[in-house]
Amino acid sequence: MKKILSIIAFLFLLSSNCIAADLLVFSGAGLIKPMEELKINFEKSHSIVIDIHYGSSGEIFAGVAAGQPCDVLIPGAEKYTDDALKNGWVLENTVTKMVLHIPVIAVPKGNPAKIKGLMDLTRPNVRVAIGDPKAPAIGRVAKQILIRGGIWEKVKSNISVYAPTVNQLLIYAALSQVDAAIIWGDLVTWAEGKGKLEIIPIEKEYNIIKTIPTAICTGALHKNTAIQFNEYITSPEGMKIWEKWGFEPCAE
């Protein structure tokens, strides 16, 4: 019920705010730092107003599925764009892979629980936070990583919170409310975590690196502007901003 109410609230905000905008973008909440900078630059250079709605990948996907006005869809993982493409909600020739999302283990400064790797999350009394597997992309990925490592059931008993967004996972770890949280590595550039976190890499054999794509929606109300925005955020100039905020460009 809580999830349904949050989606209804999200859709209400969309319908009440989107009318005056020249471009409507749905973006994963974990992308807010680079997206806000990209938005400001594009608004200034094109003299337009961009409305970006941030939410978990599940929420923004639900918005598109419900037929809410959206010009550009930028979820936190490629799976959501793939599913939108299968349903005919985005234009295939506009789907562009941009940057990588690399999961890491974030621990409070000083690493009080002495976490050294994924297997340490199974130790008794270790407080773990992950994203809700049905909401942010990092939640789904975290569960897959733990299953791949064969430790999902053991870690599950240590999970003290399932966060609705990756942003909240960052705060839990930074404020020492948990001993470890699985987040995206790029979040360590955020001011909220600077000087408050340490990062433990996830072993390569278990980690699942995701790709952040962008795509123009089939029912885009501002298609020409959407094309220009897509070109900008994937351009060399746009990539510098992504890299500034800790994202690694896709190889292709």
**pLDDT in tens for each of the 252 residues of the chain?**
545 445 444 444 444 454 578 999 999 999 999 999 999 999 999 999 999 999 999 999 999 999 999 999 999 999 999 999 999 999 999 999 999 999 999 999 999 999 999 999 999 999 999 999 998 999 999 999 999 999 999 999 999 999 999 899 999 999 999 999 999 998 888 888 889 999 999 999 999 999 999 999 999 999 999 999 999 999 999 999 999 999 999 975
Range(s) within the chain of domains with CATH label 3.40.190.10: 2-100+212-249, 103-201
pTM: 0.83
User: Which run of H or E residues covers position 229?
Assistant: helix 223-233
CB 228 within 8 A of CB 168: no
- What does CATH list as the number for 103-201? 3.40.190.10
Q: What angle do CA 18, 167, 38 make, to 5 degrees?
A: 50
CB 24 within 8 A of CB 18: yes
According to CATH, the topology of domain 2-100+212-249 is: D-Maltodextrin-Binding Protein; domain 2 (3.40.190)
